[in-house]
Amino acid sequence: MKEIVKSILRSWRNKDGNVNTTKEVKEWIEKLNKETFVDIKECKISDSTFWFYDDYNGEILNRKRSFFSIKGMRNFVDDKFVCEQPMIIQPEIGYLGIICKEIQGELNFLMQAKIEPGNVNCVQISPTIQATKSNFTRAHGGKLPTYFEYFENSGKYQVIYDQIQSEQSARFYKKRNRNMIMVITDEIPVFANYKWMTLGQIKELMKIDNLVNMDTRTVLSGIPLVTSRYTPEELSEIKEYFLDKALYYSAFESEMAEDLSKIYQYINNYKMFHEVKVKPVPLNELVDWQVDDDGVTCKKDANFRVRFYDIAISGREVQEWTQPLFQAMGQATFGLFTCVEHGIRKFLVHAKPEIGSFDKIELSPSIQQEPIEAGKKPNIVEQIFHRALEQKKGVLLDVMLSEEGGRFYHEQNRNLIVEVEKEELRELPTGYFWVNYSTLNYLIQVNNCLNIQLRNLLSLLEV
């Protein structure tokens, strides 16, 4: 594993590539966007022969009762009403996986150019495999996903990351996917719509709005750096790969015991002492939501609505279909504060409960704000964040990135990493913690600890 970590760091530093240049990758995506036939039109529920609204049970589902459904959910904490909304119910666990291989002395990642119906810009860079259980069991009659056999037989290969992680808990109810990274030595064919890229190339492409998809980001966030013990000589070699020495010290020469103790105590107290109930409710019984032939719409301001789409995309397992998508009604903001204390980079995280969380609560970024934050008074963290944006102070990264295009229509959110002085946030609100990168990298190796917004932001870091 030690040698793999060194290979990963070398690949991380290589922004030009050694199999395909970054320029070639960009031109490839542009060409596919021009050549791939895509026709996505909003339609009525009654236009679909496969999906329908069951008004007796108050849910949207398909004729096979497969794939996913949409139901109402009502959330109570300690017997107090919190919220109610439609949610995606998809209990099956899918694959999000990336194959790696050392080519000419450089670790490369096999990435896919994939179109999802809800993508803002059609083609995005996706993992090697991005498949629901319905995909690989062929429940909808499509072809078996390309390269599926490697993940089905993963015991034959060197798997360096394998965790079942959460999806967006404000839209999905307890949805999780299996995130995997494996290293192979086999000679494998590179099919159409796939290319080898170094990690550094992928990180560079992440700086371009809506080019690298959410599934790639969540998988790469799990790259394990802290699961091995290193000699002083090995650490000296690893340190040379880092331009950001504060991040190196945060990953490889910092203690995580105190961080973990504080975080686990807070999260376990919440799970133990707060009675969280999420009850299914027929869509037609949601007080503030209306169901009709157009979809599901909130009677007040809301972050999303449900609409139906007639979809035709060439090159997919299934090329024509209809389905519901959650249509974004604005842009959310996800922000991660970082500081350097005594030469060690730290990150500010927030233990946040959400209606769809698999186990009540997970660590989120410093800032996780939906477009509609009605009546909410900003806390000190949010105040300092917005002040930094207004003054354009300390912003290390600011990029628009898409959410999952298979379930969400044109949902793109602003992702920021902002450096501050720790003294500005000396007194933290309850549930906020300054932690080392080693702590976060360790917790990603455990499922249901870091939410997808935080994992996505961590994937944007550079050495």
pLDDT by residue for the chain (463 residues), tens only, comes to 789 999 999 999 999 999 999 999 999 999 999 888 889 999 999 999 999 999 999 999 999 888 899 999 999 999 999 999 999 999 999 999 999 999 999 999 999 999 999 999 889 999 999 988 777 766 656 678 899 999 999 999 999 999 999 999 999 999 999 999 999 999 999 998 999 999 999 999 999 999 999 999 999 999 999 888 899 999 999 999 999 999 999 999 999 999 999 999 999 999 999 999 999 999 999 999 999 999 999 999 999 999 999 999 876 566 789 999 999 999 999 999 999 999 999 999 999 999 999 999 999 999 999 988 755 789 999 999 999 999 999 999 999 999 999 999 999 999 999 999 999 998 999 999 999 999 999 999 999 999 999 999 999 999 9
Identify the pLDDT of residue 67. Answer: 86
pLDDT of residue 416: 98
Which fold, 258-276+330-458?
A: Nucleoside Triphosphate Pyrophosphohydrolase (3.90.79)
Pairing mode of beta strands 304-313, 295-298: antiparallel
434, 422 Cβ separation under 8 angstroms = yes
The conformational region for residue 295 under phi > 0 = left, psi -120 to 50 = alpha, else beta, is: left
The secondary structure of 296-354 as a DSSP string is EEESS--SEEEEEEEEEETTSSS-EEEEEEEEESS--EEEEEEEEETTEEEEEEEEEE-
Strand, helix or coil for residue 101:
strand
Given a contact cutoff of 8 angstroms between Cβ atoms, the answer to whether 45 and 53 are in contact is yes
Asked if 431 and 425 touch (Cβ cutoff 8 Å), the reply is: no
pLDDT of residue 2: 84
**Three-class secondary structure of residue 29 per DSSP:** helix
Nearest partner of 220 among 118, 106, 110, judged by Cα: 110
Name the residue type at position 126: S
What's the pLDDT score for residue 426?
A: 84
Give, as one character, the DSSP assignment of residue 154: G
pLDDT of residue 320: 84
Q: Would you give the DSSP letter of residue 17? A: -
Q: In the prediction, which pLDDT does 316 show? A: 59
In this prediction, residue 145 carries a pLDDT of 87
Determine the longest span between alpha carbons in the chain, in angstroms.
68
Query: What's 428's DSSP letter?
Result: P
